[in-house]
């Protein structure tokens, strides 16, 4: 018998296809999911379900592992060929746990072990749908990257990053100077490139210079250039970076590191809109937009006399403040998948996704190094990954330790001892592939005690 339906749930929150040869399971899953507002179609015949997939789009597929005609692994393979973006959740009994683990290696998002609770169903389907939406957002970013030389420059859907994007869109068409403020690794150069890409001088050059890289003498030569014979070794005339940015944007990173002597010369160039090369007598007209950035408190440095007030106001016509990654936690998953796609392409790999426990660790970490640190972690994980999904084993070994240490922070709500035990058992079950004998050995308890704790915490 086949149950099939177009009498969907009340809200278009997401479309779920459920395939199981047990009609009771189909009815229970339909009831649970429709209460959450999902559009649900149920089939007891996997072959018929595949035919539907050829004609209709779904977000999530819940499939039993053991079925006549076509088992869950075969259905997974064929469903992914028809709809590569489909997130698949495998339903299994305890005896078939190895098959469920194999399914995750082949690209299934997760599995549900019978008997499952309504809360487990709600959680895993919501997570799978969230993952699909994240992947679609990443694909849009990658499309932007192909369409724009500068790529997907400001990534995030948090309120903080939406505000950053709005401010960039407002000030980019103007020619005013901009000061970008933010901690190291927050993406100040990316924001500067986004400003340039949306400006009237987008066809002109974008030139970046790190003010912390050189001393005052070398910095002057780099920024202003020199005339032939200006000093020993100056065998020919060389234009500086300010001239190289003519008709475009110059990005002065770490502007707070610029020596006072150079601040005076930069101020004059900005005021007069001209540069004088080292050893030169003829000024060169300057048509360039200046975007500066710093992680330092320039206002305080103005008060202390270590940064010129007049230069500060010349640069800070408009300021753009970039949030720390810890302040925009909802962007971590989107960024992680963006970097996953980026490093897949760079390394020629085909890592399909990030396992739930690994993503939990990524989203709970504080990221003192901000977006740059997340990129580094994902790059390492892609390089180490030997399966379809990045798992906890591919992440830095201290990431879980950092997560546990974070429980002691006074600004966080400390979990109960039971919650810590639940998380640890879940972690051990994941790294052992659900093999309870091995998990019990690692935990130092017998299998019966482990079984009781699994039941207690709903980890079936």
Structure tokens at 309: 């007030």
Find the helix packing angle between 398-405 and 356-364, rounded to 10°: 50
State residue 414's pLDDT score: 56
| Region 398-426 average pLDDT | 61
Of 399, 385, 388, nearest to 353 by C-alpha is 388
Cα-based distances in Å from 394 to 79, 378, 402, 417, 428: 28, 9, 16, 27, 15
Structure tokens at 107: 């690209």
Quote the CA–CA distance of 262 and 221 in Å, as a whole number: 11
Structure tokens at 459: 């980890």
The rounded mean pLDDT for the chain is 83
**Long-range contact list for 280-283, CB < 8 A, 24+ apart?**
280/226, 280/227, 280/230
Question: DSSP label at 278?
Answer: B
pLDDT in tens, 286-342: 999 999 999 999 999 999 999 999 999 999 999 999 999 989 888 898 889 888 988
> Domain boundaries in the chain?
15-139, 159-323, 328-457
Q: Is the pLDDT of residue 85 over 90?
A: no
Task: For strands 318-321 and 238-239, give the pairing.
Answer: unpaired
Q: Which has the minimum average pLDDT: 157-166, 228-237, 316-325, 401-410? A: 401-410
Quote the CA–CA distance of 181 and 293 in Å, as a whole number: 6
Architecture of domain 328-457: Orthogonal Bundle (1.10)
State residue 154's pLDDT score: 64
Of 251, 336, 232, nearest to 292 by C-alpha is 251
Task: For strands 15-19 and 39-43, give the pairing.
Answer: parallel
Tokens 């683990």 correspond to what residue? 101
More confident residue, 199 or 157: 199
Tokens 């992440």 correspond to what residue? 395
Q: Is the pLDDT of residue 9 over 50?
A: no
State residue 110's pLDDT score: 84
Task: Tell me if 189 sits within 8 A of 293, measured CB to CB.
Answer: yes
State residue 148's pLDDT score: 40
Architecture of domain 15-139: 3-Layer(aba) Sandwich (3.40)
State residue 401's pLDDT score: 57
The domains spanning 159-323 and 328-457 adopt the same CATH topology: no
Quote the CA–CA distance of 352 and 357 in Å, as a whole number: 15
pLDDT in tens, 15-68: 999 999 899 999 999 999 999 899 999 999 999 999 999 889 899 999 998 888
Burial class (CB in 10 A: 0-12, 13-18, 19+), 170: exposed
Helix ranges restricted to H, 287-435: 298-304, 309-315, 332-347, 356-364, 370-384, 398-405, 417-431
Burial class (CB in 10 A: 0-12, 13-18, 19+), 294: buried
**E strand segments, 11-163:** 15-19, 39-43, 60-64, 87-92, 110-113
Q: Is the pLDDT of residue 433 over 70?
A: no
Task: Tell me if 169 sits within 8 A of 354, measured CB to CB.
Answer: no
| Region 408-433 average pLDDT | 66
Q: Is the pLDDT of residue 378 over 90?
A: yes
What superfamily would CATH give domain 159-323? P-loop containing nucleotide triphosphate hydrolases (3.40.50.300)
Place 448 in a pLDDT band, splitting at 50, 70 and 90: confident
Of 69, 70, 116, 68, nearest to 91 by C-alpha is 116
Tokens 């149920």 correspond to what residue? 42
| Region 193-200 average pLDDT | 91
Quote the CA–CA distance of 285 and 293 in Å, as a whole number: 24
State residue 150's pLDDT score: 39
State residue 147's pLDDT score: 38
Quote the CA–CA distance of 18 and 5 in Å, as a whole number: 11
State residue 28's pLDDT score: 94
Of 418, 362, 413, nearest to 389 by C-alpha is 362
State residue 88's pLDDT score: 92
Q: Establish whether the linkage from the previous residue to 183 is cis, with ω within 30° of 0.
A: no
Q: Is the pLDDT of residue 409 over 50?
A: no
pLDDT in tens, 114-138: 888 999 999 899 888 888 877 777 6
Place 235 in a pLDDT band, splitting at 50, 70 and 90: low
Of 107, 63, 118, 58, nearest to 82 by C-alpha is 58
Place 146 in a pLDDT band, splitting at 50, 70 and 90: very low
Q: Is the pLDDT of residue 351 over 50?
A: yes
pLDDT in tens, 271-289: 999 988 887 778 888 999 9
Task: Tell me if 112 sits within 8 A of 118, measured CB to CB.
Answer: no
Q: Is the pLDDT of residue 406 over 80?
A: no
| Region 418-432 average pLDDT | 74
């Amino acid at each position: 018998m086949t149950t099939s339906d177009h009498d969907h749930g009340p809200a278009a929150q997401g479309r779920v296809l459920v395939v199981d040869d047990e009609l009771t399971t189909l009815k229970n899953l339909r009831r649970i999911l429709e209460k959450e507002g999902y559009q649900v179609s149920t089939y007891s015949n996997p072959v018929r379900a595949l035919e539907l997939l050829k004609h209709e789009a779904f977000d999530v597929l819940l499939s039993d592992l053991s079925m006549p005609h076509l088992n869950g692994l075969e259905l997974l393979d064929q469903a992914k060929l028809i709809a590569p973006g489909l997130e698949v959740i495998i339903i299994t009994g305890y005896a078939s746990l190895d098959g469920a683990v194999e399914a995750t290696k082949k690209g299934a998002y997760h599995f549900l072990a019978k008997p499952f609770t309504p809360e487990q169903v709600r959680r895993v389907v919501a997570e799978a749908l969230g993952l699909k939406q994240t992947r679609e957002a990443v694909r849009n970013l990658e499309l932007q990257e192909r369409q724009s030389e500068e790529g997907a420059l400001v990534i995030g859907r948090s309120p903080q990053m939406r505000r950053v994007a709005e401010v960039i869109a407002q000030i980019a068409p103007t020619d005013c100077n901009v000061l970008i403020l933010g901690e190291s690794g927050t993406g100040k150069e990316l924001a500067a490139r986004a400003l340039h890409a949306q400006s009237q001088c987008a066809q002109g050059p974008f030139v970046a210079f790190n003010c912390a890289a050189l001393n005052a003498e070398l910095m002057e030569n780099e920024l202003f250039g020199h005339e032939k014979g200006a000093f020993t070794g100056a065998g020919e005339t060389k234009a500086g970076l300010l001239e190289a940015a003519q008709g475009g944007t110059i990005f002065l990173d770490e502007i707070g590191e610029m020596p006072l002597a150079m601040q005076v010369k930069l101020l004059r160039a900005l005021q007069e809109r001209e540069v004088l090369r080292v050893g030169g007598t003829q000024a060169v007209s300057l048509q360039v937009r200046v975007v500066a950035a710093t992680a330092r408190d320039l206002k305080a440095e103005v008060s202390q006399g270590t940064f010129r007030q007049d230069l500060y106001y010349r640069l800070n016509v408009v300021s753009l403040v970039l949030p720390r990654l810890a302040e925009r936690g909802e962007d971590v998953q989107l960024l992680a998948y963006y970097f996953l796609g980026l490093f897949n392409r760079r390394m020629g790999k085909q890592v399909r996704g990030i396992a739930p426990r690994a993503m939990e660790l990524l989203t709970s970490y504080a990221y003192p190094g901000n977006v740059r640190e997340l990129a580094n972690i994902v790059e390492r994980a892609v390089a180490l990954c030997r399966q379809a999904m990045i798992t906890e084993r591919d992440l830095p070994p201290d990431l879980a330790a950092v997560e546990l240490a974070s429980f002691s922070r006074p600004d966080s709500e400390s979990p109960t001892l039971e919650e810590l035990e639940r998380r640890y058992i879940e972690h051990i079950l994941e790294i052992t592939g659900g093999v309870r004998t091995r998990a019990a050995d690692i935990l130092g308890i017998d299998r019966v005690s482990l079984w009781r704790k699994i039941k207690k915490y709903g980890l079936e």
